[in-house]
Structure 1
Amino acid sequence: MTATDPAPDRTDPAEITALRRRLAAELAAARARTRALTHDVFAPGDPDMTRQHSPLMSPFHWDVAHIANMEDFWLVRRGSPTSEITEGVREDVDGLYDAFTNPRAGRTQLPLLDPAEARVYGDRVRERALEHLEAGAFDERRTLVGGFLFSMIVQHEQQHVETMLATHQLRAGAPVLHADPPPPAVVPGLAGTEVFHPGATFPMGTSDEPAALDNEKPAHPVTVADFWLDAAPVTNAEYARFVDDGGYSRRELWSEAGWEHIRAEGWTAPMTWEREDGRWYRTSFGVREEIPADQPVLHVCFHEAAAYAAWAGKRLPTEAEWEFAARYDHATGTTRRFPWGDEDPTPERANLDQRHLQPAPVGAYPAGASPLGVHQLVGDVWEWCDSGFSGYPGFEPFPYKEYSEVFFGGDFRMLRGSSFGVGTPNARTTFRNWDLPIRRQIFSGFRCARDA
């Protein structure tokens, strides 16, 4: 069983057992990642657990308890084998951990659970959730068919794990996170090359993957014209040439909003970049190092990506073009789950699950390339697309409007492809991420496109 296999036959005990085991393993993996970023690296009472490291981010102990509260709300209270809503573990803290009523910048002012209490809360919730999972809550309710509710909570925790990883990047002080370096490039010469994509009509989105979230549905026909797409994400070396060519001082390369923002913020390079003795350096999770020339550029906002594309005589891909490149197989006229086929991501195919804490050099994952030869579409960096956020034709909010619908029509821009901080259960090629075009604390990069 994989995270996106069709829903099992709920009358087949073997299928139900396999589903339970997979979901339990995914819940455990997500929780292990949460602890690896919090209690495993901070001693009891360490102020870094409760400090606000950036007004853009939550304190770590808020995230820990919010993850527990979301699981409490959906799995403990609404995931039982019966159709009844059951009593939660800590319903008294719901108001403290509502992300919509408590903006991030003010969360340290709330009477939050302390780090030890937050962890105990999460452990108690998980025990109750696993009891519901073992009881086999896979009836005809839409939230439970195919284990959707449990998959949704896995994905929610994995999303917060990536958010906490971004908080670690903004945190000052000595390094506390460590990981093996990424693999080296084995396909030379990819940077700056392009791949031609003949246009076609393809089914964008999905209608039959149990783990898919509401904004990924339903599958619907989209026609894409011929276009060229970069074979790899734009690298640090390529982006440095843009910076060194005065990219941040050339008004003609920037949109009005982008120009106003970089001038107001005083940006002259990507986040954490510093120039010394003619060389560029970055700070990565507390480690200052010379920027690896062949890695995808990281921590750039949409406006920076669009300005680079203009400088290069190109543009950013649309969201439809990106998914077309990641899923469509021209040889068969069908879509795949991933660029390489239908098999799940593996360490040989994509840089995920914070295994390396940085992008890999372009050309490091030939096993993950698309049939046309586009590399690293999954993992490494989120890729900005020049599309706004809206529902697909036939969209229905599920299981609550606040997941997607309330964000439609704003100033958001789409990000596709996952980053090195994304958990494998979230790394679908139909998964849609979005953020404001000024955000760059996220693990974002880009690749360029151009009309054929």
Structure 2
Amino acid sequence: MTIHSPATDNSATERLRDQIAAVLTRARQRTLTLTDGMDEAELTAQHSRLMSPLVWDLAHIGNQEELWLVRDVGGREPIRADIDELYDAFKHARANRPTLPLLDPTQARGYVGTVRDKVWDVLDRSELRGSPLIDGGFAFGMIAQHEQQHDETMLATHQLRTGAPVLTGLAVPTVAAPVTGEVVIPAGEFTMGTSTDPWALDNERTAHRVRLPGFAIDAAPVTNAQYLAFLDDGGYDRPELWSTHGWAHRQEAGLVAPQFWERDSSGNWWRRVFGVLTPLRPHQPVVHVCWFEAEAYANWAGKRLPTEAEWEKATTHDPATGAVRRFPWGETEPDDTTANLGQRHLEPADVGAYPAGATPAGVHQLIGDVWEWTASGFEPYPGFRAFPYREYSEVFFGGDYRVLRGGSFGTDPVACRSTFRNWDHPIRRQIFAGFRLARDLVEGEG
């Protein structure tokens, strides 16, 4: 597969072209990490009915890149128009994809390589302006984000598979004592969403003013030790802590602990991490819990889940100046001192492991480690306009979806902003999701 050599011209267009080349290359390297080194049987197997075979994700990544960058932006002839329907995510449910006449691993790798070679030519020839689709390199950024989102989905498939481990990562940061307590966020207006980020997706737009009463939010996500106290106090056996729908799901699904937790004969808890059984780490954020579990824990703790507006205000709003921070810590892009992102580690870091990534008020790890469930349903912002296609966001508005914020250790920085919105059904646990709590202020606080 050809690797693009970024241009060295100092013009703004060439710098943007270099940036695009870098994020596309990084996404492809990760895709190959998730699919190379596995035999054909592993790649074509369905490791869970919730997930596609890895080989479907691989070819789907190439097909979306062909549709948007080769055909639409580049105006080129189709490479494989005959497979468009096979890799249309809305035409075939995940559970049914193994029965389709999919490209085999060799064919899929060849296809995505051919597509990418043509994309490099399209990128070299594009002025990166002239229409909303390509202004600021939007279409290229959208495709880089799409590939990284599927890479995170494939990472979740790796967590669900059985057999010997095939992934490796750096040792995750630990702390001697976790961050605890909560931070008061004063009442007032703030700007939510964005109208200026050139690669923001349609559901993040448009920027709008939101007024919130004061609230308190936990300084860190809920940890394994905290969640274990809920479990030990009979949290899974107390229907009064659960909503009606949540209790029905807990019973139907037989939930007794977070997914991938295992208890040995001595009563000690372990967690299975990509095929490796490890002792439960007390200071690590709890992960692989569904929204109903988070809601029950919040009721047990006498608090609640934050709304997504509260989450974003705690993340971006500077009460001293009224300015909006791009990230909790300021304007600089995430790096390995501020956030656990990009599959660098294969699990969340202990809470408090990234002090440089905290907000000025002292809220930690809002970006990376675990997606955080919020209390909010997935709805459009004022002024929403579907772009460039309805199926990215619009068709998911309403229903029972709940919004998640902040990204996880498996989220790439290109697909993780303070304004980025994720969503899923409240029963989902295979995603890398945890939560933090909030509460209303009592009289005299704030």
Q: TM-score, normalised by structure 2?
A: 0.96
Other-structure match for 2:46: 52
Other-structure match for 1:73: 67
Question: Does residue 108 of structure 2 align to residue 114 of structure 1?
Answer: no
Q: Can you list the C-alpha shifts for 1:177-225, whole angstroms capped at 9, x where unaligned? A: 1111112227x3413x111111120110000000000000000000111
Segment of structure 1 superposing worse, 276-285 or 434-443? 276-285
How many angstroms apart in 2 are the aligned matches of 1:178 and 1:114?
A: 25
Does the CA-based 8 Å contact 1:416-1:431 persist in structure 2?
yes
Letter in structure 2 aligned against 1:245: D
Does the CA-based 8 Å contact 2:13-2:127 persist in structure 1?
no
Per-residue deviation at 1:332? 1.2
Letter in structure 1 aligned against 2:67: F
Question: Does residue 19 of structure 2 align to residue 22 of structure 1?
Answer: yes
Per-residue deviation at 1:136? 2.2
Letter in structure 1 aligned against 2:35: T
Letter in structure 1 aligned against 2:258: P
Other-structure match for 2:95: 105
Does the CA-based 8 Å contact 2:231-2:257 persist in structure 1?
yes
Per-residue deviation at 1:137? 3.8
Question: Does residue 234 of structure 2 align to residue 246 of structure 1?
Answer: yes
Does the CA-based 8 Å contact 1:79-1:129 persist in structure 2?
no
Fraction of identical pairs, as percent: 57
Per-residue deviation at 1:371? 1.0
How many angstroms apart in 1 are the aligned matches of 2:140 and 2:182?
A: 40
Other-structure match for 1:170: 160
Q: Secondary structure at the match of 2:85?
A: helix
How many angstroms apart in 2 are the aligned matches of 1:13 and 1:218?
A: 32
Other-structure match for 2:38: 42
Does the CA-based 8 Å contact 2:178-2:350 persist in structure 1?
no
Question: Does residue 383 of structure 2 align to residue 394 of structure 1?
Answer: yes
How many angstroms apart in 1 are the aligned matches of 2:164 and 2:436?
A: 32
Other-structure match for 2:312: 323
How many angstroms apart in 2 are the aligned matches of 1:367 and 1:137?
A: 37
Letter in structure 1 aligned against 2:217: L
Other-structure match for 1:8: none
Does the CA-based 8 Å contact 1:248-1:268 persist in structure 2?
yes
How many angstroms apart in 2 are the aligned matches of 1:52 and 1:113?
A: 15
Other-structure match for 2:171: 181
Q: Can you list the C-alpha shifts for 1:13-34, whole angstroms capped at 9, x where unaligned? A: 7111101111001000000000
How many angstroms apart in 1 are the aligned matches of 2:235 and 2:309?
A: 28
How many angstroms apart in 2 are the aligned matches of 1:425 and 1:88?
A: 27
Other-structure match for 1:227: 215
Letter in structure 1 aligned against 2:73: G
How many angstroms apart in 1 are the aligned matches of 2:129 and 2:423?
A: 32
Does the CA-based 8 Å contact 2:194-2:205 persist in structure 1?
yes
Q: Secondary structure at the match of 1:232?
A: coil
Tell me which of 186, 190, 194 is aligned to 1:206.
194
Per-residue deviation at 1:88? 1.8
How many angstroms apart in 2 are the aligned matches of 1:208 and 1:189?
A: 36
Question: Does residue 329 of structure 2 align to residue 340 of structure 1?
Answer: yes
Does the CA-based 8 Å contact 1:79-1:137 persist in structure 2?
no
Per-residue deviation at 1:408? 0.5
1:212-291 superposed matches below 5 A:
212-276=200-264, 277-291=266-280
Q: Secondary structure at the match of 2:439?
A: strand
Q: Can you list the C-alpha shifts for 1:63-112, whole angstroms capped at 9, x where unaligned? A: 000000000000000112xxxx3312111100100000110000000000
* Runs (5+) with no aligned partner, structure 1: 1-11
How many angstroms apart in 2 are the aligned matches of 1:390 and 1:264?
A: 28
Segment of structure 1 superposing worse, 415-424 or 130-139? 130-139
Task: Compute the RMSD of aligned alpha carbons.
Answer: 1.0
Letter in structure 1 aligned against 2:38: F
Other-structure match for 1:9: none
How many angstroms apart in 2 are the aligned matches of 1:167 and 1:181?
A: 21
Question: Does residue 369 of structure 2 align to residue 372 of structure 1?
Answer: no
Letter in structure 2 aligned against 1:201: E
Q: Can you list the C-alpha shifts for 1:111-163, whole angstroms capped at 9, x where unaligned? A: 00001100100000001111010012423210000000000000000000000
Does the CA-based 8 Å contact 1:382-1:419 persist in structure 2?
yes
Q: Can you list the C-alpha shifts for 1:285-334, whole angstroms capped at 9, x where unaligned? A: 00011111100000000000010000000000000000000100112111
How many angstroms apart in 2 are the aligned matches of 1:283 and 1:67?
A: 28
Q: Can you list the C-alpha shifts for 1:249-278, whole angstroms capped at 9, x where unaligned? A: 000000011100010011100001112212
Q: How many equivalent pairs are there?
A: 432
Letter in structure 1 aligned against 2:324: T
How many angstroms apart in 1 are the aligned matches of 2:406 and 2:149?
A: 14
Letter in structure 2 aligned against 1:195: V
How many angstroms apart in 2 are the aligned matches of 1:138 and 1:239?
A: 48
Does the CA-based 8 Å contact 1:316-1:384 persist in structure 2?
yes
Q: Can you list the C-alpha shifts for 1:41-81, whole angstroms capped at 9, x where unaligned? A: 214x3x1100000000000000000000000000000112x
Does the CA-based 8 Å contact 2:370-2:434 persist in structure 1?
yes
How many angstroms apart in 2 are the aligned matches of 1:172 and 1:13?
A: 49
Q: Secondary structure at the match of 1:100?
A: coil
Letter in structure 2 aligned against 1:158: Q
Other-structure match for 1:361: 350
How many angstroms apart in 1 are the aligned matches of 2:416 and 2:397?
A: 22
Q: Can you list the C-alpha shifts for 1:426-452, whole angstroms capped at 9, x where unaligned? A: 110100000000001000000000001
* Runs (5+) with no aligned partner, structure 2: 1-8, 442-446
How many angstroms apart in 1 are the aligned matches of 2:167 and 2:420?
A: 27
Other-structure match for 2:148: 158
Q: TM-score, normalised by structure 1?
A: 0.94
Q: Secondary structure at the match of 2:11?
A: helix
Q: Can you list the C-alpha shifts for 1:339-360, whole angstroms capped at 9, x where unaligned? A: 0001100000000001110000
How many angstroms apart in 2 are the aligned matches of 1:449 and 1:286?
A: 34
Letter in structure 2 aligned against 1:439: R
Question: Does residue 404 of structure 2 align to residue 421 of structure 1?
Answer: no
Other-structure match for 2:444: none
Other-structure match for 1:93: 83
Q: Secondary structure at the match of 1:164?
A: helix
Q: Which segments of structure 1 move beyond 6 Å, counting only runs of 4 or more? A: none
Does the CA-based 8 Å contact 1:369-1:376 persist in structure 2?
yes
